[in-house]
């Protein structure tokens, strides 16, 4: 359990995140936190997949500096989206010096078209965001997901698929192993490969490529 929290199902609730981010911003507005590691941990695996001109969308960005670290590695164009107004306002202020290429947007990942005005991106990144929503199903069997879980996954991945340009990438970064998670990333017909990162504790980058039209 993270931070002494005994009920991880809170991670699936918007009011939990809004309350958490308000409290964190009031005590230390420049503090950032990386779920499932930061950019430096994945850069070697992800960098060969990217171009410096790529427009990149981060889903459920929270107070991660992942996009800023990517910018400093030569990938400057980012849109960071989260449904917590508190964290978006704070991060926009903290990283205002990058406002020409880094955008911070309040939006619902289940209504992505509305949140980003129908724009499509070369790369869409989910780093632990789907994991958070799946905590809302603590009794579900990961080997045989319920129809409720599949409904959420299909809805989410449909939004992701629409936000990715034809031929573009969806990168899902998680600790969840391939026999549980790969099939979720494939539900819209993307071709999905898996990159394993780390040795003592394994993390995974699921690389979904949308078919070119």
CA distance 78 to 57: 6
> Which residue range(s) make up the domain with 99?
2-209
Contact yes or no for 166/211 (Cβ under 8 A): yes
Name the band, by pLDDT with cuts 50, 70 and 90, for residue 173: very high
Predicted local distance difference test score (pLDDT) of residue 26: 80
Mean pLDDT is lowest, of 29-33, 61-65, 164-168, for 29-33
Please give the span between the terminal C-alpha atoms of the chain, in angstroms, as a whole number. 43
CA distance 52 to 74: 6
Domain CATH for 19: 3.40.50.150
Report, as an integer, the average pLDDT of 60-73.
96
Contact yes or no for 159/187 (Cβ under 8 A): no
Q: For all residues of the chain together, what is the average pLDDT? A: 92
Number of domains the chain contains: 1
């Amino acid at each position: 359990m993270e931070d002494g929290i005994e009920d991880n199902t809170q991670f699936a609730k918007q009011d939990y995140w809004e309350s958490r981010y308000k409290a964190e911003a009031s005590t230390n507005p420049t503090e950032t936190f990386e779920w499932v590691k930061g950019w430096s941990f994945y850069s070697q695996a992800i960098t060969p997949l990217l171009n410096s001109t790529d427009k990149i969308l981060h889903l459920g960005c929270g107070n991660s500096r992942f996009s800023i670290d990517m910018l400093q590695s030569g990938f400057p164009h980012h849109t960071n989206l989260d449904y917590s107004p508190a964290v978006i306002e704070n991060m926009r202020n903290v990283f205002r010096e990058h406002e020409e290429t880094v955008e911070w947007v309040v939006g619902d990942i289940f209504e992505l078209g509305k949140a980003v005005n129908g724009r499509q991106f070369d790369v869409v990144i989910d780093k632990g965001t789907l994991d958070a929503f799946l905590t809302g199903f603590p009794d579900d069997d990961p080997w045989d997901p319920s129809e409720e879980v599949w409904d959420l996954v299909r809805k989410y991945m449909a939004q992701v698929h629409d936000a990715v340009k034809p031929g573009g990438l969806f990168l899902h970064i998680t600790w969840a192993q391939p026999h549980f998670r790969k099939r979720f990333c494939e539900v819209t017909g993307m071709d999905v490969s898996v990159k394993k990162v780390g040795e003592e504790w394994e993390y995974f980058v699921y690389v979904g490529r949308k078919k070119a039209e």
